[in-house]
Chains A and B, each alone.
Chain A
Amino acid sequence: MSDEKLLVVKDLTTTFATAGGELTAVAHVSFDLDRNETLGIVGESGSGKTVLSRTIMGLQPRVNTTVTGSSIIDGFEVVGSSENEKRTIWGTEVAMVFQDPMTSLNPVMRIGKQIDEALRVRLGMNRKDAKARAIELLELVGIPSPVQRYHAYPGQLSGGMRQRVVIAIALACSPKLLMADEPTTGLDVTIQAQILNLLDELKERLKMSVILVTHDLGVVATRTSRIAVMYAGRIVETGTTRDVFHHHRMPYTRALLESSPKVSNKSHTRLVTIPGRPPNLLNLSPGCSFAPRCKYATDQCHLVRPELQPSIEPGHTFACWNPLPVNSEATLS
């Protein structure tokens, strides 16, 4: 059992029926995740990262959404399961840390109660044990004087504190897989590092797997073992963090890497940007979605969509007709 992959995603596709037609937010995504592994999902806004992470755990809107493919969390097939069935894995197998701690806590409930809830309902603890465990969890996520904070309302805590509480809630039922959807976007930079370090530390301590969804390459660089780069709902390159950073083949990955600002740059260095705009998902070309913005694009790129193909390193795949040469170091420091 423990040798088995924790998460196996196969050909996962999420389609929304919108007024403008069928919108495929996630298209044919496949990957898997080992136990105690951290995977980073990277992409720009609208690339389908959030929809992907929510579809994996079966959390899509009830109406106008079609999901095909398969997402198996620790042997449980999420796709096609009813909400009642999914409730058995939510919290205990897979939990989620949300993007904005300002909106992911109930403003009218004391934070202690919000942690208690899950413990009492899911684990059947009594009031006293649940409170003790909740305080323990608050301590675990590094909240000072947790006994007093147990009675605080979310409005009385700062952003970083709230995100710690959100993490404590997610950890309440000791999930095996933690989905962190842009967990630091709503926080300022010094707090970001603290929260990421906390996640890292907890992952080791509690032997969890983590999926870290972000648009910030700096976030994933040192904290993930593997990275999947998404563009227009598809994975366009995946591999170990090292391979993706240093031996990437897909021009989009390079463009993404080049457009992150570097501290070593001289001041007033112009930020490198990717020309053009993300594609309209309602009206995708038959070819590579990145082709219109790619400086290496050929006719083939516009007409035929490239599939993921292996690169020379094991586990490293990319989807491109005109990949960068094998030993191309990005212009990164």
Chain B
Amino acid sequence: MSNRALDEQVLSALGIKEEPGEPLGLFFWICVGWVGLNVFGAIFANLLPLPNPLIGNFNAVNVGPGIHHLFGTDDLGRDIFSRVVYGSRVSITVGIGAILIGFGIGAPLGMLAAYRRGRFDAILTTVMYVLLAFPAIIATIAVLSFWTPRSLFKIIVVIGIASIPLVYRVIRTATLSVATKDYVIAAKVQGATDRRILMRELLPNIAPIAVSFFLIGVATVITLEGALAFLGLSVNPPTPSWGNMINEARTVLTQNVWLAFFPSLALCLFLIALNFIGDRIRSHFDVTEVKL
């Protein structure tokens, strides 16, 4: 009998069960590949053999998809494929940057509030819910209309701040459900400090929810950036972003439908992939006793 078979026999005799964890599935990896490809394109856009996204070729205006221009060209003769790839830079940077701000501030506050409870929690939660009641899109539109000239940095900061209450609410709720578990009390009566309990007991247990919300948050922010760009409140043209490409395409929709189609498709597929990954991660790492 091989060692491994013997090991397994010993394990089962000792009542040791197989590791849980349901398979992530092929579609999950396709989504990961897609997101990876987009991120790769965004990072290395200027190293890839792409036409300049800002300079048009007036001999080829409003060309449909073809050999020379994969996705066709716009009304200024700029290559749409190149603009979609470059456009992902803005969308992905804003998406990740803003959510990092949201998590950087919202997550520690949410954990602390759920762990400490009492007055600290009551005041903070009230403030966050008041902020949450105010539509984020209106707030960001208002701030970005006045805070000019607009830059990528300002957009990230404004959306980032707007996302704090959302992150706070999710992390606080997730922590609440863990903080009352016996193992947290058990750690406490072993003399663990608050910091240790937050970092070692609570954080690893809310990590799956946090990671999945992070990805879904990135998707939400990208949508928000798209909406702002559509209203002309994101980065200034001619810098492409998926949102402002759709906005520009609006005026020539009857002449060249591809101009709106490709950035929309890119946005849509990227968001679907992100949401699916987030969802799978949550259910894959969800260590509930039911499954054991």
Q: Which residues of A contact B16 (CB under 8 A)?
A: 152, 156-157
On whether the beta carbons of A166 and B190 are closer than 8 Å, the reply is no
Q: Which residues of A contact B287 (CB under 8 A)?
A: 107-108, 155
- A98 with B190: in contact, given A108-B287, A158-B15 (CB under 8 Å)? no
In the complex the two chains form, what is the Cα distance from A108 to B117 in whole Å? 24
Q: Which residues of A contact B30 (CB under 8 A)?
A: none
- A108 with B205: in contact, given A62-B118, A156-B19 (CB under 8 Å)? yes
Residues of A164-193 at the interface with B, using a CB-CB cut-off of 8 Å, are: 166, 169-170, 172-173
In the complex, the chain B residue whose C-beta lies closest to that of A106 is B183
Least Cβ–Cβ distance between A156 and chain B, in angstroms: 5
On whether the beta carbons of A173 and B205 are closer than 8 Å, the reply is no
On whether the beta carbons of A117 and B205 are closer than 8 Å, the reply is no
Q: Which residues of A contact B192 (CB under 8 A)?
A: 117-118, 121
Q: Which residues of B contact A157 (CB under 8 A)?
A: 15-16
Q: Which residues of B contact A91 (CB under 8 A)?
A: 189-191
On whether the beta carbons of B15 and A90 are closer than 8 Å, the reply is no
How many chain-A residues does the 8 Å CB contact rule pick out?
Answer: 42
Grouping DSSP codes into helix (H, G, I), strand (E, B) and loop, the A interface class, with mixed when no group exceeds half, is loop
Q: Which of B32-40, B47-55, B193-201, B264-272 contacts A (4 or more CB under 8 A)?
A: B193-201
- A118 with B14: in contact, given A105-B183, A155-B287, A155-B292 (CB under 8 Å)? no
How many chain-B residues does the 8 Å CB contact rule pick out?
Answer: 31
On whether the beta carbons of A122 and B15 are closer than 8 Å, the reply is no
Least Cβ–Cβ distance between A115 and chain B, in angstroms: 9
Q: Which residues of A contact B4 (CB under 8 A)?
A: none
On whether the beta carbons of A104 and B118 are closer than 8 Å, the reply is no
Query: Which of B118, B192, B193 gathers most chain A CB within 10 Å?
Result: B192
Q: Is B45's CB within 8 Å of the partner chain A?
A: no
Least Cβ–Cβ distance between A132 and chain B, in angstroms: 19
Q: Is A301's CB within 8 Å of the partner chain B?
A: no
Query: Which of A94, A108, A118 gathers most chain B CB within 10 Å?
Result: A108
In the complex the two chains form, what is the Cα distance from A92 to B189 in whole Å? 9
In the complex the two chains form, what is the Cα distance from A90 to B182 in whole Å? 15
Query: Which of A105, A155, A160 gathers most chain B CB within 10 Å?
Result: A155
Q: Looking at the complex, which one of B183, B191, B292 makes contact with A121 (CB distance below 8 Å)?
A: B191
Q: Which residues of A contact B207 (CB under 8 A)?
A: 108
Q: Which residues of B contact A106 (CB under 8 A)?
A: 183, 187, 200-201, 204-205
Q: Is A250's CB within 8 Å of the partner chain B?
A: no
Q: Which residues of A contact B20 (CB under 8 A)?
A: 155
On whether the beta carbons of A118 and B118 are closer than 8 Å, the reply is no
Q: Which residues of B contact A109 (CB under 8 A)?
A: 200-201, 204
Least Cβ–Cβ distance between B187 and chain A, in angstroms: 7
Least Cβ–Cβ distance between B22 and chain A, in angstroms: 14
On whether the beta carbons of A156 and B205 are closer than 8 Å, the reply is no
In the complex the two chains form, what is the Cα distance from A245 to B158 in whole Å? 71
Q: Which residues of B contact A156 (CB under 8 A)?
A: 16-17, 19
In the complex the two chains form, what is the Cα distance from A62 to B179 in whole Å? 13
Least Cβ–Cβ distance between A331 and chain B, in angstroms: 38
Q: Which residues of B contact A99 (CB under 8 A)?
A: 182
Q: Is B138's CB within 8 Å of the partner chain A?
A: no
Q: Is B185's CB within 8 Å of the partner chain A?
A: yes
On whether the beta carbons of A173 and B190 are closer than 8 Å, the reply is yes
In the complex the two chains form, what is the Cα distance from A67 to B190 in whole Å? 22
Q: Is A102's CB within 8 Å of the partner chain B?
A: yes
- A92 with B191: in contact, given A62-B117, A108-B204 (CB under 8 Å)? yes
Query: Which of A95, A104, A107 gathers most chain B CB within 10 Å?
Result: A107
Query: Which of B14, B191, B200 gathers most chain A CB within 10 Å?
Result: B191
Q: Is A23's CB within 8 Å of the partner chain B?
A: no
Residue interface mask A87-130, B partner, CB < 8 A = 1: 11011101110111011111111000000011001100000000
14 pairs of residues in contact across A and B, judged by CB atoms under 8 Å? A62-B116, A88-B191, A90-B189, A96-B186, A99-B182, A104-B183, A106-B183, A121-B196, A145-B10, A155-B19, A157-B16, A161-B14, A169-B190, A173-B190
Q: Which residues of A line the B interface, CB within 8 A?
A: 57, 59, 62-63, 87-88, 90-92, 94-96, 98-100, 102-109, 117-118, 121-122, 144-145, 152-153, 155-158, 160-161, 166, 169-170, 172-173
| Further contacts, 13 of them, CB under 8 A, given A94-B189, A118-B192, A144-B14 | A62-B116, A62-B117, A91-B190, A99-B182, A108-B204, A108-B205, A109-B201, A117-B196, A118-B190, A121-B193, A145-B10, A145-B14, A161-B15
